[in-house]
Amino acid sequence: MAGEYRIDPWGSQVIREYEKLFKYFGMRPFKEVLPLLEEVAEPHRLMRRGVVFGHRDFEIVVDAIKKGKRFAILTGLMPSGKMHFGHKMVIDQVIYYQSLGAEIFLAIADAEAYAVRKIPREELIRTAIEEYVANYLALGLRPERLHIYFQTNYRKEYYRLIQLFSRKVTLAEMEAIYGEDLEPAKIVSALTQAADILHPQLPHFGGFDVVLVPVGPDQDPHLRLTRDIADRFRSELGLRRPASTYHRFMTGLTGEKMSSSKPESYIALTDDPEEAGRKLMRSFTGGRPTAEEQRRLGGRPEICPVYEMLAYHLVDDDAELKRIYEDCKSGRLLCGQCKRYAREKLVKFLEEHQRKLEAAKDLAYKLVDVPDF
Ligand code: SF4
42-266-256 Cα angle (round to 5) = 95
pLDDT for residue 179: 87
pLDDT above 70 (res 2): no
Q: What is the CATH number of the domain that holds 330?
A: 1.10.240.10
Q: How far is CA 260 from the centre of its chain?
A: 14
Residue 322 phi/psi, 5-degree rounding, is -60, -40
* pLDDT tens-place string over residues 22-64: 888 889 999 999 999 999 999 999 999 999 999 999 999 999 9
Q: What is the CATH number of the domain that holds 188?
A: 3.40.50.620
Q: 4 pLDDT band (50/70/90 cuts)? A: low
Q: 18 pLDDT band (50/70/90 cuts)? A: confident
How many percent of the chain have pLDDT more than 90?
89
Longest CA–CA span in the chain (Å) reads 68
Domain boundary among 223, 249, 275: 249
Which atom of ligand 1 sits closest to the CA of residue 329?
4
Write the DSSP assignment of 250-301 as a string of letters. Answer: PBPTTSSB--TT-GGG--BTTS-HHHHHHHHHT---S--SSHHHHHHH---G
* pLDDT tens-place string over residues 177-193: 998 889 999 999 999 99
pLDDT for residue 3: 46
Residues 354 and 236 in one domain: no
Q: 259 pLDDT band (50/70/90 cuts)? A: confident
Ligand 1 is surrounded, with C-beta below 6 A, by: 285-287, 299-301, 304, 306-307, 328, 333, 335, 338-339
Q: Average the pLDDT over 274-280 and give the result.
A: 97
Which atom of ligand 1 sits closest to the CA of residue 333?
1
pLDDT for residue 1: 44
Domain boundary among 219, 249, 279: 249
Q: Counting beta carbons within 10 angstroms of the beta carbon of residue 1, is it exposed (0 to 12), middle (13 to 18) or buried (19 or more)?
A: exposed
Bigger pLDDT: 9 vs 167: 167
Crossing angle for the helix pair 18-25 and 220-232, to the nearest 10 degrees: 20
Residues spanned by the domain of 153: 17-249
* pLDDT tens-place string over residues 325-344: 999 999 999 999 999 999 99
What residue's CA is closest to ligand 1, atom 4? 328
pLDDT for residue 24: 80
Distance of CA 288 from the midpoint of ligand 1 (Å): 9
Please report, for residues 228, 229, 337, the alpha-carbon distance to residue 287 in angstroms, rounded to integers and kept in the order given: 46, 48, 12
Residues 82 and 160 in one domain: yes
Q: How far is CA 278 from the centre of its chain?
A: 26
Q: Quote the number of domains for the chain.
A: 2
d(CA 335, CA 281): 9
Distance of CA 95 from the midpoint of ligand 1 (Å): 29
Strands of the sheet with 146-150, listed across from one edge = 28-29, 52-56, 243-247, 211-215, 72-77, 103-108, 146-150
